[in-house]
Structure 1
């Protein structure tokens, strides 16, 4: 008895076809036709075994199971004298894949894309997967704007049932956006709307930003930006009717047409609050930013619902739901809103789980958490916890999730997942600052010693005007409640003549201990106490007041400097601030017991205000005062100075104020500096936070102890600036025009600084 070609029509078995067989008991199973596949693999996939009774249904199931493996292109079952013969014809395997003509993509990158689609060396060859993989390669090129790409795939049979696959790629030219048209706009000019788009018809920086290359995902984002623009300006019924994207016959130019309906502009007539009010209605209404009489704004409505949700979240209602339901009057073009509040169930935090910290100890992360285990859920504390962990600087990424505990609707866990980054740093480099000249910097530091969160650094800095060798150590949690403690040891040598700041040299060695006391989430009070031993060497041409001071008090001094400062940092970023303020007040006193008696007071207020998503306005004001006490004058080498980058640009570093007979700045005991700056990204690099431009205006000066402070003494300047956190260090440029320089002022219209000096 034989059953032949059963695999030709599996469905026929279910219909009682001519391939029906007389059932029999399997005495033996024999596999024929395998070359690479082990017979045991076939046995493993077969749904029957020796001793089973084989009938039509089991035969069909056996063929299906073997086909489903993907190993075979033909399967046949035969039976002879109780022996089941499984005859197979194996699919070929892929011996090699060759990619020719690829320039825009690395070949390994393309091979990875092929592998993700099931096409890789040593895998079973499937013609359908080859077609699918070819389309995937085309999509890779389409994403780069190369719509004219041509990909030909050829399959070459090889011995031992193998194949070689060759992809011949003709990449073609990049298709760029030639024209973007907006149809249907009446309230706003087309140019104003096109400025919202990240995709453009090209500009000076398009060769870097690729903003003239079409992307379906970017177009969707641009349309959403267009929708937000209208909805935030009252056009409640705005709609994008259609979007047409066409390509030129040569596939080199893209044309985009957006058809829209603006609708009418709506005004808010009434605001109501409904639902379950666990917070007093007056307090809820204060959180609603949109008011009666305002032009409708989706942004303000969303901010209002979010503020109410956050307020409820602070009381433990983690899953509060707030909906703003509109009531439209199309005839009057007005809308009323009812904010319905559903607080849900109050929940508390069961566990705080920390993952991803392979080196950093759990306690380093946990001590930054403001949410506590067992306490009511508090949204603001959880957000602040994430910010504090992120500010540690030990992690590339910090993610916080608050999933509900299974079968416990009143509990959530706080899952903190981190991705660690190297925290050790070995640095050696050369920097240049206008005024200080070429400098060499080298340091080795570890900001997370043994995963403990403690900081240790060894550094040296040499330049034409100064040399510094230092050791610094800090423990940010010397006590469990966040009191920090640190130590510094240094040797410093300064030659102010290189900066035109006086005919003298100083050399000194010192040490200090620092303590920081946090008094709120944003405020810190710092204290330090140190000892400094310095020596002054006067040079030929030194002014008479320098000579008189050294004659009266000698050239070697032991000083006991003590400092106290208060800092409140409410900026949203230390590197790229766009909102918030930085306030700092500091005092230094040379304590009795040392050879010098003097003190300094300084204050700074820096304020950032976002004018838009790209423009930020910054105001900075600084003031300083210094004097001697106990019958001793202020040492001339402790005078205050102004001028240069970080002060009044356009004037030499530290050169404002009175000069001696050599033209060197004497400094003073009073200083005022003010800066106004408009910060914005480099055109074409809107998303890059490593660099931005500015237009600024500066003012400032210094006065000596016998001088009367007058606005007429202030120096003014204005110009353009560039700040760039480059791979080799912070880089600052400024081009400034001094408005009222005096005859003895040192004017520097172009100034730059590369690298950070110790």
Structure 2
């Protein structure tokens, strides 16, 4: 602590009087303690410096060469140096005409450590300590450490932990340094054991407390943490209590007293509130006054409160917000609506006057962006619906925010309207974004006796080099599979939002077990994709491509109907010109963690005439998020798919050699032999039907079939294993072959995360679905159903999805996989 100036000068004077002739004379050596003999400073010297330079002292010292120093100037100099926070002690002396400043530096913080903190992240704590002035390399101040201790205690008290102990330790080191260690013993959170309302006669206590954030300890408190007391949370709950009665017409309602007590062991909290309910009021009249800007009839139509209704504060707020929002959309950014009540306690009525104060019409001067370190301003600016130089529009500003959230580049998007200094009719709109990794990198390397060495590299970036372009490259290779993919999409090929993209793919698949029928293929694909926006939420997509797919079936291992399909076509290479047209609507409020809105898409893909096989597939995906409350979000999801051929069925008669013939059971799926006697030398030439088999290719090609089951459709069942199954001639194992009709759906409830982060979304779900050979084969009784819990987490290593499912409806032969997960890595 600093000593008073007159005492300091007196000490200097006494020290000077007792010093030898070589000692430095004090400023007050020839004057009384309360007076300083003025002198002109010829030079300035600073003694006692270790880390701080003399130049730094001169910067803060309000005395220069040639200045006259008196008592006031000396006091001002000492105060100025103390205020820097660099020094424990400051003294001023005189040697002739030289002003001598003697200082004792505060130590520097060498190392700052935290231990014992679980509820508060170390990174967040260190950032908060740095803001207060306590960080490694900074000057140590005992007062700052005391403030930190009290602030930590306050934060833990807000979390219901009243037994917390904060123990700071300061260790002195050589060269005027210190180590600061803060040990935290968090203790256990105090639990709310009882909440008591006194005076409620009209409503049950359970009904009133239903929407409170504070709650008595219950079996879900470990998850909700609603039994932890905090002053801020209780204040909000008391406001809800007041609103509860005002929304039901009890204008005279009042909270008379509030009492919070804690047990001696500081583990249990008891809350009590005394209330007076009063009587219920109705609305006698409603009037709109002031400068409405818009036609008065239009503004009056927004008022939901009507005469003879029970008074409701909530309806008043909704009406006021609607008027303010409407005026805000036509430039009146600072519009206000003041509901003025006229209470008649004798008649128990309330007359309401809605006073409209539009304020000045506001123009947007600039639209600014903060936090986009990687993403170019242009990428954000092209999503704007609020333009610079245009009238302020709250709807356009909000829509721009939603479009930024829909990009998927940002974890959070915040918008702020900043008035322009010196004017009342201009504002700047500032969007602050928090970027997340918009790309992923997956690398896999493994070895097994079956597959041999396996490698996989996948690289994707939805915001390539900050341009907003999407690019993905994948390479995968093992003893059974080689695959190479490249895709590119420019979402703003034109300034109007027309997108253009390209897809290239080549793969060679050789009898690998992907839970599908056993056949191999070599395929190559080239596609061009065009997207055209038609409204803010709707777009049309068109695709044109060419592909080649060579199919290899294995006698005895591939199910015979699949072999027959290839035989009927007469070639194993399928060439196709492929076209696709689709419509999509996306009104989700976020691409990463949506809580409301709809995302649906329907598209038709077909091979064009002249392709090896002519078929079509129609798909429909629908997903809607329903915000049930502040914490719970329900997602309903449906996926439908149907495919068929649109050309004539292809039929061929195949001639078998005698070596391939077996029993004559009239089964076209098995080879046959004559009843008796040796077969003719050339049965096909003689016209013998015993050696002829008719095969037909009709419907959706088997290699285009739909599949279901797995983490992305019906969880709890192994990937691709639902639907029709067949066995091969030389095998008893059933092979999933997919089908031409797919129906999958889900109901999923998202809960608040156990950790304070929007990156993790736990949920509970019910999945259902199946695949059928065609539409006529659909049977609701054969739908598979599962239920379970899941966690989706945008981890630092990439997106992770984990689920544990229990099948509610299954059939014999179904392949179950209760624990399923997918993951990747970010870069």
TM-score interval (norm. to shorter): 0.7 to 0.9
Which shows bigger deviation, 58-67 or 485-494?
58-67
How far residue 517 of structure 1 moved from its aligned partner, in angstroms, is 0.7
* 1:247 matched residue in structure 2: 262
> SS at 1:304's partner residue?
helix
How far residue 27 of structure 1 moved from its aligned partner, in angstroms, is 7.4
**After the TM superposition, which residues 148-167 of structure 1 pair with which residues of structure 2 at under 5 Å, given as runs?**
148-149=163-164
* 1:528 matched residue in structure 2: 543
Contact 1:75 1:86 in 2 (8 A): no
- Output the CA distance in 2 between the equivalents of 1:686 and 1:167: 26
* 2:190 matched residue in structure 1: 176
* 1:313 matched residue in structure 2: 328
Cα shift readout 1:407-444 (whole Å, capped 9, x = no counterpart): 4443333334445444443223599xxxxxx9985311
> Among residues 730, 746, 750, which one is paired with 2:801 in the alignment?
730
Contact 1:91 1:125 in 2 (8 A): no
- Output the CA distance in 1 between the equivalents of 2:717 and 2:124: 52
* 1:569 matched residue in structure 2: 586
- Output the CA distance in 2 between the equivalents of 1:132 and 1:416: 34
**What 5-or-longer segments of structure 1 have no aligned partner?**
11-16, 432-437
* 1:411 matched residue in structure 2: 426
Contact 1:461 1:469 in 2 (8 A): yes
Q: CA RMSD in A?
A: 4.8
- Output the CA distance in 2 between the equivalents of 1:552 and 1:124: 86
- Output the CA distance in 2 between the equivalents of 1:112 and 1:579: 34
* 2:703 matched residue in structure 1: 637
Max radius of gyration: which structure?
Answer: 2
Structure 2 vs 1, CA of residues 242 and 206 (structure 1 numbering), >3 Å: closer, same or farther? same
* 2:677 matched residue in structure 1: none
- Output the CA distance in 2 between the equivalents of 1:107 and 1:277: 53
Contact 1:655 1:745 in 2 (8 A): no
Structure 2 vs 1, CA of residues 233 and 654 (structure 1 numbering), >3 Å: closer, same or farther? farther
Which shows bigger deviation, 582-591 or 746-755?
746-755
Contact 2:371 2:435 in 1 (8 A): yes
Cα shift readout 1:53-100 (whole Å, capped 9, x = no counterpart): 66666666566666666647575778x9xx568687745633668989
- Output the CA distance in 1 between the equivalents of 2:123 and 2:794: 30
Contact 1:4 1:76 in 2 (8 A): no
How far residue 542 of structure 1 moved from its aligned partner, in angstroms, is 4.5
Note if 1:754 corresponds to 2:822: yes
Contact 1:609 1:617 in 2 (8 A): yes
Note if 1:598 corresponds to 2:615: yes
Count of aligned pairs between the two proteins? 734
Contact 2:632 2:752 in 1 (8 A): no
- Output the CA distance in 1 between the equivalents of 2:559 and 2:552: 13
Contact 1:98 1:165 in 2 (8 A): yes
Cα shift readout 1:196-250 (whole Å, capped 9, x = no counterpart): 4445565667667765544333443444455555555555555444443333334
Cα shift readout 1:259-303 (whole Å, capped 9, x = no counterpart): 444444555565433322333345434544555666555444333
Cα shift readout 1:301-320 (whole Å, capped 9, x = no counterpart): 33332222222222222222
* 1:560 matched residue in structure 2: 577
> Among residues 692, 714, 717, which one is paired with 2:762 in the alignment?
692
> Among residues 565, 579, 589, which one is paired with 1:549 in the alignment?
565
Contact 1:149 1:169 in 2 (8 A): no
Contact 1:209 1:685 in 2 (8 A): no
Contact 1:736 1:749 in 2 (8 A): no
> Among residues 86, 106, 115, which one is paired with 1:93 in the alignment?
106
> SS at 1:578's partner residue?
coil
- Output the CA distance in 2 between the equivalents of 1:226 and 1:41: 57
**After the TM superposition, which residues 385-404 of structure 1 pair with which residues of structure 2 at under 5 Å, given as runs?**
385-404=400-419
Could you tell me the TM-score, scaled by structure 1's length?
0.80
Contact 2:10 2:33 in 1 (8 A): no
- Output the CA distance in 1 between the equivalents of 2:822 and 2:368: 42
Structure 2 vs 1, CA of residues 567 and 332 (structure 1 numbering), >3 Å: closer, same or farther? farther
Which shows bigger deviation, 680-689 or 309-318?
680-689
Which shows bigger deviation, 98-107 or 487-496?
98-107
- Output the CA distance in 2 between the equivalents of 1:439 and 1:332: 84
* 1:704 matched residue in structure 2: 774
> SS at 2:601's partner residue?
strand
- Output the CA distance in 1 between the equivalents of 2:782 and 2:82: 88
* 2:468 matched residue in structure 1: 453
Structure 2 vs 1, CA of residues 207 and 720 (structure 1 numbering), >3 Å: closer, same or farther? closer
Cα shift readout 1:700-722 (whole Å, capped 9, x = no counterpart): 653537x4x66666536363443
Note if 1:349 corresponds to 2:417: no
